[in-house]
Structure formats: C-alpha cells, structure tokens
Amino acid sequence: MPQPIFHIDIVRLRRYISDANNAHSLLMRNSTERRALGEVLGQLRIRQDIARRDSIGRPPVETAESRNEQRSGYLRSTDPEISALEDEHERTIIAAAHNEIKVVKEEIDRVERQMRRLEAEYEILNDRWEHAARLRDLVRNFALAHGISSDDMEI
C-alpha cells in the first residue's frame, strides 16, 4: 500500500504564523486602549463625586477661627450687602457644580460606550487570535513531524 504524500505549503504555513502574530498584536493594542479608558473613567467618576459634593453646598469648616466666631455670635456678615454677596457666591458654586455634574455624566456615558465597543471588539479579536494560534500550532506540529524546521516557518 503506497504511503500518502503530504505536501506542506510553506507560504501558507508562514501566513498562518503571520495571522496569529497579527491577531495577537491587535489584541494587545485593544487591551492597552481598554486599560487607558478605564483610567479615564476612574478620573471622571472622581470628578463626578467632587461635583456632587459641591452641589449640596459646603458645610462650614471647623477651624479655631470659626469656633471663636461661633462663640462671639458671628456666623455671617451682618451687613446685608456682604451677606447677599456670600449667598450669591454660594449659589454660583452650586450652579457650577450642577453644570459640572451634567458635563461629567455625558463624558462618562461617552467613555462607557467606547468601553463597551472595545470589550465587544476584544471578544472578537480574542476568538480570532485563539483560532489563528490553534491553526498555527496544528500546522507547525504537522510540519515539524514531517521534517520542516521551525526556522523555515518563521517569516
């Protein structure tokens, strides 16, 4: 009974290896982008927390000076113009904080959409890489079993 003749196409073998390497590099780039977006998302959440804290108004800070003012009965200016300026300043801070909350929420939504897109892309790239790596390994093992050296397989 004649032995089957195996023909190994070295060009195709090199293409499998190249495809696996390319898929892996795309996968690593995607991972880097996801990591960077995760850091941006963390910073945006910190900004959001600060804006939420500012939006409820600032509680009086407890200092030695403020305790002395409380003992003397002075909490706010008795001058109506200064008191109005203090109130206006407080309202301005609160309005700016509410605006910051809206801006940060939009940015968080945008980054989360990008993150979901990258995660879906990661799943696809991971499947492609696993498939290419499986083909590469099967063909490489077959070639090695039939006398082709690993140096001949690399591009």
Q: How much is the pLDDT for 99?
A: 87
Per the structure block, which two tokens stand in for 115?
């993150």
- The answer to the question of residue 121 being in a domain is yes
In contact, 122 and 27? CB cutoff 8 Å: yes
Based on the structure, what is the number of domains in the chain? Answer: 1
Residues recorded for the chain: 155
CB contact set of 107 (below 8 Å; sequence gap of 6+)? 44
Segments forming the whole domain that contains residue 34? 10-153
pTM over 0.95: no
Amino acid at the residue 6:
F
pLDDT truncated to tens, each residue of the chain (155 aa)?
A: 444 455 666 777 778 778 888 888 999 999 999 999 999 999 999 988 888 887 776 555 566 665 665 555 545 555 666 666 667 777 788 888 888 889 999 999 999 999 999 999 999 989 988 888 888 788 778 777 877 766 655 54
Q: Which contacts qualify for 58-65: CB closer than 8 Å, 24 or more apart? A: 58/90, 58/93
Q: How much is the pLDDT for 29?
A: 94
Q: How much is the pLDDT for 41?
A: 93
- The answer to the question of residue 1 being in a domain is no
- The answer to the question of residue 5 being in a domain is no
- The answer to the question of residue 14 being in a domain is yes
Q: Residue 9 phi/psi, 5° resolution? A: -85, 105
In contact, 38 and 108? CB cutoff 8 Å: no
Task: Write out the DSSP string of 85-103.
Answer: HHHHHHHHHHHHHHHHHHH
- The answer to the question of residue 119 being in a domain is yes
- The answer to the question of residue 57 being in a domain is yes
